[in-house]
Amino acid sequence: TGWSLILTPWKNLCDQLVEDLGTRFWAARKWSPSVKPKVERLYPKNLSRVLKKTDTDWILVATFATLVSIFKKKKTQYSELAARLAQVFVDEGHYEPAVEWGQAVKQLQRPTLLLTATPYRNDLKLFRVRKEDVYNFTHKEAVDRHIIRGVTFRSLGVPEPADKGLNQWCERFADFWKSSERKSLHSEARAIVCCAKMATVERVNRILRDLGLDAVG
């Protein structure tokens, strides 16, 4: 019972979460709650209106910056919000570099679940998560349980190019991408080509499209 607060670092992820929690999240899990929660984006500017809601089945989605702003500038309403919450979920939970952000979450004094698929922060600083409260789902477990596909690496036979070698590299990649070998890997395969400079991104995108691939930069 009570409201749920979902926090994420960036506004574009907020928009995605609001949309997903409207329908897709529940449908993907074949789960229909008895009362489907209503979802709303939370900002400092709409906090007063949100706190007037009487329903108990709300999911609020906000950025870290929004919660810190409310914590610092709207203390009374921050306390009112905390009192309405039953639980807090933190998406991209490894983004916890600021003391203010840690305080803003902890002083809600509500059960909080930190979620991340980016395991480079292992120090658990500021949140001081107890070892018995940490769950690591390893890459091997995810592959074994078919949550993600296994990864194999294949060389294109052409080294990573300097600017002058981009055409040859793109041609070799296009040959592979159009081959029966690639088509046998996965029916909806995608590729990500990473470049060091924006100018290179633009060149590679143009070359790949000229070679007949559906590329976007």
Per-residue pLDDT tens digits for 36-49? 789 999 999 999 99
Q: Please state, in angstroms and rounded to a whole number, the distance separating the CA atoms of residues 4 and 87.
A: 5
3-state SS assignment for residue 33:
coil
Q: What is the pLDDT of residues 53-104, one digit of tens each?
A: 998 889 999 999 999 999 999 999 999 999 999 999 999 887 755 677 888 9
Q: What was the pLDDT predicted at 123?
A: 57
> Taking 60 as the threshold, does the pLDDT of residue 122 lie above it?
no
Whole-model pTM over 0.75 = no
Q: What share of the chain is helix, strand, coil (3-state, %, to 5)?
A: 45, 10, 45
Pairwise CA distance, residues 190 & 15, whole Å: 24
What sign does the dihedral 92-117-96-85 (CA atoms) show? Answer: positive
* Four-CA torsion 122, 127, 128, 134, nearest 10 degrees: -60
pLDDT exceeds 70 at position 124 = no
Say what the pLDDT of residue 121 is: 56
Position 8 scores a pLDDT of 93
